[in-house]
Chain A
Amino acid sequence: MTERKEIRLAGLGGQGVVLAGVLLGEAAVEQGLYAAGSNSYGAQARGGGARADLVLDGQQIDYPHVQQPDLVVAMSQGAYDTYASGVAEGGKVLFDSGLVEPKAPHDRYGAKVTAMALEEFQNRQVANVIWVGLVAGVTGWFQTEVLERTLVRLVPERFAELNKAALAKGLDMGRAWEVA
């Protein structure tokens, strides 16, 4: 990747939005890219709106804030309502189709990520890592092995295998979206 790209992850506090942003940013830097991430969240630990913005570029980033995201991930209805319409032309809106009622008919990138985390992994907390996989799979901007290494570094050791499986799940689904 050589051109500037902007990603906006949004949801509720407790969904792991910020950690997902850090994971993608760390991986991007390890890949040799420039990355700039900024977060916005309320005072409460759970339930308030949470947002993680990430700018990626092959060269030094002048303005580090997201202006018009190429990719929006909406993990809640509120996030979708606030940010989906701000996506750049030709950009993608990913959303949790178990939690979000999409308004634009062209929004085809829906997946029941939270339900999947609970049913397939018996752990709601891995939803954000499935999202990281989906983002990487659908964009092709991240190297799988670097993401996996970064993930193992950032999560507690006893959850490493669980998180790697969640990442793989997201990657597979994201890549399939691109083929579809």
Chain B
Amino acid sequence: MPLTTVTNPVKAGSRYLSGNDAAAEGAIAAGCRYYGGYPITPSSEIMEYMSRELVPRGGAFMQMEDEIASISSVVGASWSGAKAMTATSGPGLSLMQECLGYAAFTETPVVLVDVQRAGPCTGQATKVGAGDIMAVKWGSHGDYQVVALSPWSVQEMFSLTVEAFNLAERLRVPAFLLAEEATGHLRERVDLPETLEIYDRDYVPKQPPFGCDQADGIPSMPGFGMGENLLVTGSTHDQWGFRKTEGPAFHDSLVRRLSQKVLSRKAEICRHEGYYLDDAELVVVAYGFTARAALRAVRQARQEGLAVGLLRLITIWPFDDELITRVAEGAKGFLVPEMNLGQVDGLVRSAAGDTPVKSLTQVNGSTISPASIMAALKEMR
């Protein structure tokens, strides 16, 4: 089933919303009908909003005993046919990792909003960070793929939550809204559209729910109560869900397909924005809130006559290394400012070829200022 255009169930027009509230509205607009969660700063407002709004608007809400139960309930709700979500931060993400792997391996569409705070561990719970880039991708054991989108505004806390649902449903994967405290707690004008593009999961009766002929195929997804003899297991399984924990071919083809169904569609999934790239010699590669400081710095630098541009990554996972390679061909250097110790910097380096890459890191619990990015750009000249 392709994307369908539906009337936005949320009243169109301009509103002044916090990022966390906008993510909750985006989820409801996308068709989320189950939220299971455990509150944790700085994501708690999403759960508060859902606790008020979801039931009157036709969904179900559960406060679970912890994050392990939260994501497990979301997986269960998804197999019962509902679009389902949870939100968390910091240590909550760590607790969700085992079941995240279960969701990936059982091809369960789930949306997780991670409002990143200053980690590791309990860290500074109310302060901003962006240290979960690798954790959302590699936090559970084994090989699997997820989708992760990085909003830079309250507008995108809404629109990318909708997109996260669409990608989760279409690809049957866990999809992250990889937000940051600075965006979750920012209040900003949001222009809510009249219509939305929505993807509802594909279902063909009596088709195998876990297998395809294609090496990158996405199987039909039934739900409990739909008359299918449905088996869902976190052990290696055949196309009908029967456990196959011995045969090497079952494991090999399943693990490869789960990766390929995402990686072979990178061109369709990955999105970015470019600013002043046409003649840019130095390119800032940034994402999330930091990209807004970068845009400000790039504009100031342009006024001072510096040939600099901004490449803003909207999709973090799957990582668009071909994009980096392409931009690197015309660039004399990359600057990668991040609120972590260089997690995306490493990815950029591996795709940048001979183009030098400078990492600007800040892990003091505050956002990177335009002035810091400007200073780093001047050092690179």
Contacts and interface: CB of A to CB of B under 8 A. Distances in A.
Interface string A29-61: 110111111110001000000000000000001
Given A63-B370, A64-B292, A39 B16 contact: no
B187 A25 contact: yes
A124 interface: no
A67 interface: yes
A41 to B, nearest CB: 9
Please tell me the size bucket of the interface on B: 10 to 19
Interface in B166-192: 182, 185-189
A62 B300 CA distance: 12
Most chain A CB neighbours (cut-off 10 Å) among B16, B293, B295, B370: B16
A-side interface size class: 20 to 34
Contact of B295 (A29, A32, A63, A65): A63
B189 A34 contact: yes
B187 A38 contact: yes
Interface in B124-181: 126, 153
B296 A22 contact: no
A26 interface: yes
Most B CB atoms within 10 A — which of A28, A62, A67? A62
Contacts of A39: 185
B15 interface: yes
Interface of A: 22, 25-26, 28-30, 32-39, 43, 61-65, 67
12 contacts: A22-B187, A29-B189, A34-B188, A36-B188, A37-B186, A38-B182, A38-B187, A63-B295, A64-B153, A64-B186, A67-B369, A67-B370
B22 to A, nearest CB: 13
B106 interface: no
B122 interface: no
Given A26-B16, A65-B367, A37 B292 contact: no
B299 interface: yes
Interface in B231-273: none
Q: Which 3 A-B pairs have the closest CB atoms?
A: A63-B296, A37-B187, A29-B16
A32 B14 contact: yes
A26 B14 CA distance: 10
Contacts of A63: 292-293, 295-296, 370
A37 B370 contact: no
Given A28-B189, A62-B299, 9 more contacts: A25-B16, A28-B16, A29-B189, A32-B14, A35-B189, A36-B188, A38-B182, A64-B188, A67-B369
